Structure formats: C-alpha cells, structure tokens
Chains A and B, each alone.
Chain A
Amino acid sequence: MVMKNDTGTTATFKRFSPCNNTVTIFVNGREIVASGRDTVATCLLVAGELAFQYNKASGEPRGPYCMMGVCFECLVTIDGVPDLQACLVPVEPGMRIETQKGVLQGRDT
C-alpha cells in the first residue's frame, strides 16, 4: 500500500523508527523536515522523490541504486552545485536540494 506523507506527495519510503533530532531543508523549494541522521538520498526517498536526475545519454529518469557512492545515479544539485552524489552528503539545516530535471542539450550521436 502506498502512503501519503505529511506534504501530500506519494512516498514509497517511510521510517520504522521515529527521528530524535530533525533538521529543516528544502527540496525543489518545498520545506521538508528531515532526520538529523539522513543523507540527502534517504531524506529525498522519504519525501517522495524517486527520480533524482535524468541520464545524460538517454534522458531517462534515474534514482539512487547503490546508496553507497559507486553507481553515480543519485546526482542532485545542492546549494547550487550540480551533480553531487546525494547518498554521500549528510543533510544540514537550511540545505537547498534540487532534483535534476534538465536533459542535456547536446547533439545526439
């Protein structure tokens, strides 16, 4: 069963244990209360984001696959810096995260 989270978007991830300390961050401009233990990737999953970026070669949506820094699929823009691995970055208060919707405007080969 898919549950709605507090922001009304459909999330397919939840927490099995309550957060002891929380931080407030912004995901695509939306205010999100994250766990102090979160990485950007875990908090985005709970916030209902599955597609973090679009593949530069094919334009397909991609989301976190390995969660440990080896697959490079969870790239997001954090505080204006693009292509950061969401699974390696801990959340910090006030952090601004954008998922990367832009498809590369390169010429096809």
Chain B
Amino acid sequence: MSINSVDVLVVGAGPAGLSAAIELSKRGATTMLIDEQAQPGGQIYRGVELCGESDRKLFGYGYVRGRKIIEDFRQSPIDYKTRTVLVSIESNHVADIFENGVLKRVQAGAIIIATGAYERPVPIKGWTLPGVMTIGAAQIAAKQASVIPSGRTVIVGNGALLWLLAWQYRNFGASIDAIIDLGGRKQISKLLRDFWGFAASSYFLDGAKYYALSRVSTRVITARDQVEILGDTRVEGVVVMQKNGKYQKFAADTVLLHDGILPNTNLLGAIGCEMLWSLSQCSWRPKVNIWQETSVSGVFAAGDNAGIDGAIAAEYSGRIAALDALRQLQILTSQERDTLAQPWIRQRSRARWGRNFIDAYFSPSNTVKTASDATIVCRCEAITHESVSAHIQQEPRRLAHLKSMTRCGMGPCQGRMCSPSVAALTAQISDVHPYQVGPPSHRFPVSPLPLAALAKFDVGLSQDAGKLHE
C-alpha cells in the first residue's frame, strides 16, 4: 500500500478547520481536510449549504456567515474527505485515517486539529431516557433537516446557547412549554468587571435580544435545587424540586438539556498534548502558543478545541495556525508569517471580547454535584452517581485511577460524557480543585474502529511479522 503524503492534514471542517485549509491551499501547501460529517460546516454551520435561504435566516446572522466560508472552501484545491475519522497519530506526523471502511496512512508535514467543542454533560436523573437530548442536538436537527419537536417541550439548563435556541424555536414556530433555568443567582459584583468588554462585543446586541425575547415569551422557572426527568422507557415529564419543599411538575415529550460547552480534546489528549485547566471555563484545554501550536511540535489546535472562543475567533485561529504551519514547511519565512499574521492576531483578540462575561454569567451548574444517587454519571457503562461517589470516598485520587476502578470513560464515548462530571464530583467530595484531579486519559482510536478494517491495514510490514515460527 502506498502512503499518501501531504503538507498539512487538517482535522475538522468547522470554521477553524475550513479557514486553515483555505489559507494553506491559497499559499500552495498540499492540504488534506478530513471530517466526520458528510457536509462541511462543523456544528455551528451544520447543513448551511443545503438549507434554503429563507430558512437560513431563521437561525440568525451567526449561521448565515458560514455560507461564505464554505463557498471559499469549495473553490480551494483541498483534498476534502468527508465521513472520515482520524484513528491515530504516531510520531513525525504519521496519521492513520479511516475512510469508506478502509484504514489508510497519511504522512503529513504538520497537523492542524480543529475538532471544535461539545456540550458539557448534564447528569440529572432520567437524562438517559429516549426523548432527552441536548440543546445543541436540537439545533443540529433543525439545521440538518428542519427537524423540531412537535410535542410538549421543556428546556432544562444554563448557558448562552439555550437562549439562542429559544429564540430560534420562536422563529420556526416550535413551542417551548417551559425553560427551567439552572443558572442560579448571578453575582452582579463579579460580573461587572467583565461587563464592558461584553457590551463592546458583537455578542451584546444579539445576545441581549435572544435573552430578553425568550424570557418574556416563555415560561421561565429558576430552579433552586434538584431537577429530575420523569419517565419509564421514554420522557414523560420534568419535576423541579424547590428548597421550600414544593414540587413543580411539567409533562413533556421532549426535554432539551444544556450546561455550556467544552473543548473536544480527546484527539489532542490521545496524541499526548499537554493540557491546562481553564479557570474561567472550568474545562481542560491544550497548552498552545500564539500560533496555536501544542506542546507536540507541528501539531496545532485551532478553534474551540483550544478553548471556547466562538466561531469568529476560530476562523482567525485557524488562519494563524496555517501561517505557522506554512513557516514550518518553509513556504513562508518567519517575517512573511509575522506580517500576514499581525492583523489576524488582533482580530482574534477582538473576537474574544465579551467571552469572560459570558463565561462568568453562565458559569457551569455542574448538575452532578446535586444529582441523586441513582443518577447515571457514565452513560456508556451505566454507572451511577452512588457508585462513583463510593469509589471517590474510598480513595479520592486522580481521574485515571477512577477510570480504572469504576470503568467511567472506558465505553465507546471514551469519557466525553462522564469525565467532566467525575472530575467535578471528585473535586467536591475530596475538597480539592478540579485541576488536581488531572485531565482524563484518552486513547486511540478516538472513535471505535472495526477490527476487520484494522486487520486489512497494511503499510508494507511483512504479513509474517506476527509469526513466531512455522
């Protein structure tokens, strides 16, 4: 089998990956972009190419913007592989990719990883019932195929995306029976410090509009304590338990959850990139330099997987990573890179305005801390809050230890759905800071790989290399 060689391999077709690939190909680097999805755009611009113009506007300006990037991308000479996942990266930027049922090897000069973000898990009792999904999932269904709930819908959560979806659902004519706000009481004095950056940012006017409109047009209940989802084999309702002992019950066919978003760092972790704890965002992110390069030389993290900064910052961080990759490939000199990068570095900072306020205003509720014993923490292995807590109490230690002892993180999702909760719970029970619990240990393959495909993988090693004797 021949090994495919490219200058740069870009992973992820969201704003960061697309922008990076456009920039790379514009300057003559051979570029391969691989993405899990069938269409470009990532989650934020999901389905924007196929979505009709009038529908597109219903999602707001932040969605429409994606069309222009994808048009540029489509006109660029990029080897774009859809429905393709990165299986592993070995040293010297050797990447094994899984495309169309076949495992292939790619030798890259540099790798830009732009795997974006996903939503922080919201472990409350009943969150595994069919009919419960995330706010982001609801948005994706709407963007992908104009799909919205038709029954009684209750939103439970906290975070900016929640209010955006509520506004979008108004535009689609989808009804929301109630929003149960887990955001809790805001500390005005703490927020004030960051407010002016927010007021000057692009988020301010739109954000305020979504928030205000949704709050007046929908029933909003501020939850002061536990929330549980009711149902046996599917969602039947939501119950809010107040501190004063009163219960409030809502019948529901669909429940949408949210508690902010997290960098999707599984791939970066498996490569061995050094991780840092972000105090303001309560999540792990890779340590990157000004060029978005990680602690592993020639491996870049661009966009939200390097810290949640939003789609516009992601575009600039993708382009900036591309420039340094071009410098490493000796397509650009350091001076050329610096000159080109200067305005983008400014724009990247500008796009981050307001982020601190949003992070502080919507600081995560971490529902796991108040969840009841029977609440499932690890969805893949169906491990309960009670069982995880027992292990932590027995010996409060790092996340890697808890993974081995509880199996949290050993299922197909590899901890994406449980490690933030296990870390928060450990921090709470052992009274330590979450960063002391350590980052989750990620392994290749980052997505499950058919054994049969691996068996057919052949990069020229002798067929008999596994034979001891005959």
**A interface residues, Cβ below 8 angstroms from B:** 1-3, 11-17, 20, 35, 37-39, 41-43, 45-46, 50-52, 55, 57-58, 60-73, 83, 87-90
Contacts and interface: CB of A to CB of B under 8 A. Distances in A.
Nearest to B55: A17
Contacts of B221: none
A71 B448 CA distance: 12
17 contacts: A2-B152, A12-B151, A15-B146, A15-B148, A20-B52, A37-B51, A37-B144, A41-B141, A50-B234, A51-B234, A61-B234, A63-B133, A64-B137, A66-B133, A66-B137, A69-B447, A70-B264
Given A60-B382, A65-B133, A70 B145 contact: no
B128 to A, nearest CB: 6
B445 interface: no
Contact of A68 (B43, B83, B128, B129): B43
Interface residues of B, number: 53
Which DSSP category, helix, strand, loop or mixed, fits chain A's interface?
Answer: loop
A46 B132 contact: no
Contacts of B52: 17, 20
User: What are the 7 tightest A-B residue pairs by CB atom distance, in nearest-first order?
Assistant: A63-B130, A58-B382, A67-B137, A50-B130, A14-B150, A72-B412, A17-B146
A70 B118 contact: yes
A67 B83 contact: no
Interface string B404-438: 00000001110011000000000000000000000
B130 A39 contact: no
Interface string B135-162: 0111011101111111110000000000
Given A16-B142, A37-B144, A45-B147, A71 B417 contact: yes
A41 B428 CA distance: 36
Interface string B244-285: 000000000110000000001000000000000000000000
Nearest to B142: A16
Contacts of B140: 67-68, 87
Contacts of A55: 128, 379-380, 382
B360 interface: no
Interface string B35-66: 01110000100010011100100000000000
Nearest to B122: A65
Interface in B95-151: 118-119, 128-134, 136-138, 140-142, 144-151
